[in-house]
């Protein structure tokens, strides 16, 4: 998650630095007002295109990250269901085993007419 924060900070710094450089170069350049407006318009178009490309890249990365998260969640859910099924099967097996042992013990004890002692 810190990579995303660092990228966002980089992107903001890049945009602010680009704007600052463009404004400084326009103000310090010896040109007429019309030439300056033309340069500003061209630079604004370039900046808009760069920002659009960067935004598309960020969107693609975010979409990939979201898809990866969904795939991981599905895999973890599948694994959890498998483990739950295994645990249920083991529990059922242990239950049946103890039930059989208890039944045998009760049968053995009742046939000798002595008190029933149950040991699990």
On whether the pTM is more than 0.85, the answer is: no
Condensed to tens digits (0 to 9), the pLDDT of residues 64-111 reads 999 999 999 999 999 999 999 999 999 999 999 999 988 888 888 777
CB atoms within 10 A of CB 31: 11
Q: Which of 4-18, 57-71, 98-112 has the highest mean pLDDT?
A: 57-71
**The pLDDT value given to residue 69:** 93
Residues contacting residue 116 through CB under 8 Å, at least 6 positions apart = 105, 106, 109, 110
Count CB atoms within 10 A of the CB of residue 61: 13
Rounded to whole angstroms, the Cα distance separating 37 from 110 reads 107
Element (H, E) at 90: helix 33-111
Q: What is the pLDDT of residue 119?
A: 59
The residue among 25 and 65 whose pLDDT is bigger is: 65
Which residue has tokens 């924060």?
5
């Amino acid at each position: 998650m810190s990579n995303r924060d660092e990228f966002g900070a980089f992107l903001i710094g890049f945009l602010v630095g680009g704007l600052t450089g463009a404004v400084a170069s326009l103000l310090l350049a010896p040109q007429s007002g019309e030439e300056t407006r033309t340069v500003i318009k061209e630079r604004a178009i370039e900046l808009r295109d760069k920002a659009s490309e960067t935004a598309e890249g960020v969107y693609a990365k975010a979409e990939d990250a979201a898809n990866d998260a969904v795939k991981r969640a599905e895999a973890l859910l599948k694994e959890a269901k498998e483990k739950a099924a295994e645990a249920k099967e083991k529990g059922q097996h242990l239950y049946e085993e103890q039930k059989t042992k208890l039944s045998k013990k009760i049968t053995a004890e009742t046939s000798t007419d002595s008190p029933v002692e149950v040991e699990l």
